[in-house]
Amino acid sequence: MAESEGPKMPRSQVNQIVLDAIAFCERMHFRLPPFASWSPADWQTKGHEYDEIRDNRLGWDITDYGTGRFGEIGLVLFTIRNGNAAKPRIYPKSYCEKIMIVGEDQLCPYHHHRSKREDIINRGGGVLLVEVRNATESGELLDTPVVLSIDGRVVEVPSQHTIRLEPGESVTLPSYLHHKFWGETGKGPVLTGEVSAVNDDETDNVFIPEYPRFPGIRPDVEPVHLMCWEYPGAGD
């Protein structure tokens, strides 16, 4: 995994973000799976029966996209289930599910996916704003009208149009549809769901302008919970 060369997130900040995320999910009555609460010590006891979590990067994923400004540009993700395009015989799931927490005015920056089609769902809390723009397979951004599905209704919107999703509403984003999203000012954080094809954060994301997907973490304190790319191997 390529680590960001930008400012590193202090582990103390990452710890607090995860604890706040767990508390927010509890307030929203969204139940996370048991491995969401495992400590590093717990992971030391987990054998090969949990390789699906390790290999498919299920679990916590905190990023500030290498900016050092998590509150402005950042995202909390927890991957609940995922397949593995590199190991389809071992992990045949063709789908992925994530829960994300998007703060007010906290930007997930412009990007698209080369392969993945995804539904972005407002599961509750505030209002999610999603801006969309077509892109070509070579990465060229277009100013053509965007055709997409919003809760089963096909609509055409102008390039760089902002879609407003209230709790319960969703939008389908096909591959090569450039998009960014953030929480609407004054409405509170958004519990955001993602249901998609298999997720591969190493090869499938295209950020324009470029942002590193994974942050560096500065170890100022011990971790409370490990990130999905930090798990020890079985028996390590």
Per-residue tens of pLDDT for the chain, all 236 residues? 656 677 999 999 999 999 999 999 999 999 999 999 999 999 999 999 999 999 999 999 999 999 999 999 999 999 999 999 999 999 999 999 999 999 999 999 999 999 999 999 999 999 999 999 999 999 899 999 999 999 999 999 999 999 999 999 999 999 999 999 999 999 999 999 999 999 999 999 999 999 999 999 999 999 999 999 999 999 77
- SS3 for 102? strand
196-225 burial code (b ≥16 CB/10 A, e <16): bbbbbbeebebeeeebbbbbebeeeeebbb
**Which amino acid is present at 45?**
T
Tell me the CA distances in angstroms from 235 to 3, 44, 46, 49, one per residue in order. 25, 7, 8, 12
pLDDT at 6: 77
9-218 falls under which CATH superfamily?
A: Jelly Rolls (2.60.120.10)
